[in-house]
Amino acid sequence: MLVSVAVGRRDDPDAAEELRQLVESAAIESVGRVAVRRDRPDPAFFIGSGKVEEIKAQAVAAGAGFVVFDVALSPAQQRNLERALDLWVLDRTALILYIFSRRAKSREGKLQVELAQLAHLSTRLVRGWSHLERQRGGLGKTGGPGEKQIELDRRMIGVRVRQLRERLKQLEKQRLTRRRARSRRDVLSVSLVGYTNAGKSTLFNALTRADSYAADQLFATLDTTSRRVHIAANVDAVLSDTVGFIRGLPHQLIEAFKSTLDETAEADLLLHVVDAASPAREEQMAEVDRVLAEIGAAEVPRIVVFNKIDLADREAGVVRDPCDSIDSVAVSARTGAGLDLLRGAIAEFSRRSTAEHQPSDEAPSWSRAATA
């Protein structure tokens, strides 16, 4: 049973459709949906107690095994809902983490997802079994009670988290070494960023002639893939396909994927891929801008790429800003329309960037004075 919740005056035009796509990506069958609107979240259930009873009745009638909420629930709210509904409850954070755990293929991706899952789980430990109190500590009768199960679980999670962070540090060093090698070769670094399912992987394959996995589903690609590509005469680039963003992206994921997202923050140019056919493209663009600011990539130069123009009934084209730099390009990665314009935009950025950083032929005044 799906529960979509709108709080206050916020109205996401594609919220219900996005929730449906999320559960489909998790291979979960939806048996019904309940829409809830509230002025503010309820401290106990997030939604009102009356809605809880309505959801329970519909879930039982539909034979639902659990309930998925399209919001992030606090541990107490999740616990209260599970008791009231007598069903398992998944919130948006847990659902996205589950999808990531299914899609991660690389060693680094699996470690990052596990770290995020443990960070989420550590706030939801509720067991306080007392059977371990028989393991008294200290000397004789002076010893206090032994650990409770929740304390043991927390320590085990803490040990595993430290192990994961140590392994990710080693992989981050290797990534940094590769990044420095590319920098020494003076190759333009370009990262594809954007909302999930905007067509980044399809565009990556079209530009690099690679065969990376691409599908019409949320979070089809998690692991960062990089390829060297010839853009134009005397212009080569390393193009990187990165994980897509989404509204309410769990903070644990941003922290766990920090080393991967640093690749975006260190890029020379970002291609912000936007689904031109989506009715919520403005909201999706704003969400991507928010995440880029959070990872320190807000100041990286970018070109907006309006993709899927074949579905939006738009023509391929280029829009320039007041400084005559290319601001956006309209393309279709599926049909190939506008890809030459995009290559030209990347090449133009490379030449402008090279010209700006090229030293002047004339020595600066302080140099001439020193020589004299």
pLDDT at res. 154? 76
* For range 217-241, the mean pLDDT: 82
* For range 122-151, the mean pLDDT: 53
Question: pTM for this one?
Answer: 0.77
Least confident range of 45-59, 230-244, 294-308? 230-244
Contact 172, 259 (CB under 8 A): yes
> Given this structure, which CATH class describes domain 186-357?
alpha beta
Contact 210, 225 (CB under 8 A): yes
* For range 243-259, the mean pLDDT: 75
Taking alpha carbons only, the member of 246, 212, 199 closest to residue 97 is 246
Beta-carbon contacts of residue 70 (< 8 Å; ≥ 6 apart): 2, 3, 4, 5, 15, 19, 92
* For range 73-98, the mean pLDDT: 90
8 or 145: whose pLDDT is higher?
8
Q: Examine the pLDDT at 272 and tell me if it is beyond 90.
A: yes
Taking alpha carbons only, the member of 257, 295, 264 closest to residue 115 is 257
> Which H or E element spans position 188?
strand 188-194
Mean pLDDT, the chain, whole residue set: 81
pLDDT at res. 366? 38
Please state, for a pLDDT cut of 70, what percent of the chain lies above it.
81
148 or 19: whose pLDDT is higher?
19
264 or 84: whose pLDDT is higher?
84
List every span in the chain annotated with CATH 3.40.50.11060.
2-90
Transcribe 155-167 into DSSP letters.
Answer: HHHHHHHHHHHHH
* For range 112-132, the mean pLDDT: 69
* For range 239-267, the mean pLDDT: 78
N-to-C CA span, the chain? 82
> Which H or E element spans position 337?
none
Q: What confidence tens digit (pLDDT) does each residue in 286-340 have?
A: 999 998 888 888 899 999 999 999 998 889 999 988 888 889 999 999 999 999 9
pLDDT at res. 129? 43
- C-alpha 212, offset from chain centre: 18
Report the amino acid identity of residue 343.
R
List every span in the chain annotated with CATH 3.40.50.300.
186-357
- Where residue 209 falls among pLDDT bands split at 50, 70, 90? confident
Token look-up 């539909």 returns 62
What is the C-alpha separation between 90 and 299, in angstroms, rounded? 36
pLDDT at res. 363? 44
Distances (CA, A) of 48 to 12, 39, 60, 93, 288: 21, 11, 19, 21, 32
Least confident range of 124-133, 175-184, 253-262? 124-133
User: Which CATH code is given to the segment(s) 2-90?
Assistant: 3.40.50.11060
Contact 37, 3 (CB under 8 A): no
pLDDT at res. 56? 94
Q: What confidence tens digit (pLDDT) does each residue in 337-371 have?
A: 999 999 999 999 998 887 776 655 544 443 433 33
* For range 96-112, the mean pLDDT: 82
What is the C-alpha separation between 54 and 174, in angstroms, rounded? 53
Taking alpha carbons only, the member of 41, 49, 50, 36 closest to residue 5 is 36
